[in-house]
Amino acid sequence: MALTITDVARLADLARINLTTDELEHLTGQLDVILESVAVVSAVADDDIAPTSHALDLTNVFRADEVRPSLTPPLVLAMAPAQEDGRFRVPRILEAD
């Protein structure tokens, strides 16, 4: 089933996206190709193939969360370009009330 410009216009309306006629025509072809590709993949999928989220089995690759020696706050602040009251001083980005 091929998408029509009316289908794409309805989808754009649901997504609250304003599209020109040229954009609708262009996207209709692109979305049709995407849907055809999904149909091909769906046709290949069989009941004996388990759904997966990745082609390879993955395991947690994070290291253990353990306390290790690190820089002290005074040493870090000593390397900062500006500091104030034991904290980094950064430029103001919001207006104060």
- Terminal Cα-to-Cα distance of the chain (whole angstroms): 58
Q: Nearest to residue 15, comparing CAs of 39, 33, 23?
A: 23
- Whether 20 maps to a domain, the answer reads yes
* Per-residue model confidence (pLDDT) at position 2: 84
* Per-residue model confidence (pLDDT) at position 64: 85
- Whether 55 maps to a domain, the answer reads no
Look at the chain and report how many structural domains it folds into: 1
Q: Which two tokens stand for residue 1?
A: 């089933």
Q: Which two tokens stand for residue 9?
A: 């216009």
Provide the residue range defining the domain that includes 29.
Answer: 5-44
- Whether 17 maps to a domain, the answer reads yes
Q: Residue 38: which CATH number?
A: 1.10.20
The pTM (predicted TM-score) of the whole model is 0.46
Please tell me the distance from the alpha carbon of residue 23 to that of residue 4, in angstroms, as a whole number.
13
Chain position carrying tokens 């997504």: 15
pLDDT digits (tens), the chain, 97 positions: 688 999 999 999 999 999 999 999 999 999 999 999 988 888 877 777 777 777 777 777 788 889 999 999 999 999 999 999 999 999 888 876 6
* Per-residue model confidence (pLDDT) at position 89: 93
Helix/strand/coil for 96: coil
Q: 8: how many CB neighbours lie within 10 A of its CB?
A: 21
